[in-house]
Amino acid sequence: MTIQPLHQLNVDLGDRSYPIFIGHHILDNHQLISDYIQGSSAVIVSNTTVAPLYLDKVSQALELANIRYDSVILPDGETFKTLASVELIIDTLLKKRHDRKTTLIALGGGVVGDITGFAAAIYQRGVNFIQIPTTLLSQVDSSVGGKTGVNHPSGKNMIGAFYQPQCVIADTHTLETLPDRELSAGLAEVIKYGLIHDEKFFDWLETNIEKLMQKDYQLLSHAILVSCQTKAEIVAIDEKESGIRAILNLGHTFGHAIESAMGYGNWLHGEAVATGMVMALDLSERHHWIGPEVKQRTIQLLKNAHLPVKSPPQISPEQYMDYMSIDKKVDRGVIKFVLLKSLGKAIITADYDSALLTQTLSES
Ligand code: NAD
Ligand code: GLY
Give the ligand 1 atom nearest the CA of 138: 26
So what's the pLDDT on residue 3? 83
DSSP state of 331: B
So what's the pLDDT on residue 263? 85
pTM summary value = 0.96
Give the ligand 1 atom nearest the CA of 186: 25
Residue pLDDT tens, the chain, 364 long: 678 878 999 999 999 999 999 999 999 999 999 999 999 999 999 999 999 999 999 999 999 999 999 999 999 999 999 999 999 999 999 999 999 999 999 999 999 999 999 999 999 999 999 999 999 999 999 999 999 999 988 778 899 999 999 999 999 999 999 999 999 999 999 999 999 999 999 999 999 999 999 999 999 999 999 999 999 999 999 999 999 999 999 999 999 999 989 987 799 999 999 999 999 999 999 999 999 999 999 999 999 999 999 999 999 999 999 999 877 778 888 899 999 999 999 999 999 999 999 999 999 9
Q: Which residues pair with 73 in a beta bridge?
A: 46
Shortest-distance Cα residue to atom 2 of ligand 2: 248
Instruction: Indicate if 312 and 168 belong to the same structural domain.
Output: no
Which residues form the pocket of ligand 2, taking CB atoms under 6 Å from any ligand atom?
141, 145, 147, 245, 248-249
List the CATH number of the domain containing 106. 3.40.50.1970
So what's the pLDDT on residue 183? 98
Q: Is residue 282 part of a domain?
A: yes
Instruction: Indicate if 165 and 267 belong to the same structural domain.
Output: no
Instruction: Indicate if 197 and 346 belong to the same structural domain.
Output: yes
List the CATH number of the domain containing 346. 1.20.1090.10
Specify the pairing of strand 7-11 against strand 18-23. Answer: antiparallel
- Ligand 1 centre distance from Cα of residue 123 (Å): 23
Q: Is residue 1 part of a domain?
A: no
Q: Tell me the residue range of the domain where 233 lies.
A: 180-363
Pocket test for ligand 2, best of 248, 328, 329, 336 (most atoms within 8 A of CB): 248
Q: Is residue 184 part of a domain?
A: yes
What is the helix (H) or strand (E) element at residue 132, kind and residue range? strand 128-133
Give the integer Cα–Cα distance in Å for 335 and 24. 41
Instruction: Indicate if 149 and 283 belong to the same structural domain.
Output: no
So what's the pLDDT on residue 5? 78
Nearest of 185, 194, 270 to residue 226 by alpha carbon: 194
Instruction: Indicate if 190 and 83 belong to the same structural domain.
Output: no
Helix (H, G, I), strand (E, B) or coil at 296: helix
Task: Kindly list the catalytic residues.
Answer: 125, 147, 189, 231, 241, 245, 249, 252, 256, 269
- Beta-carbon contacts of 97 under 8 Å, excluding residues fewer than 6 positions away, are none
Instruction: Indicate if 111 and 171 belong to the same structural domain.
Output: yes
Q: Which ligand is nearest to the CA of 249?
A: 2
Give the integer Cα–Cα distance in Å for 103 and 347. 38
- Ligand 1 centre distance from Cα of residue 35 (Å): 25
Which residues form the pocket of ligand 1, taking CB atoms under 6 Å from any ligand atom?
47, 49-50, 53, 76, 78, 81, 108-112, 114, 134-135, 137-138, 141-142, 145, 147, 157, 174, 177-178, 182, 185, 269-270
Q: Is residue 34 part of a domain?
A: yes
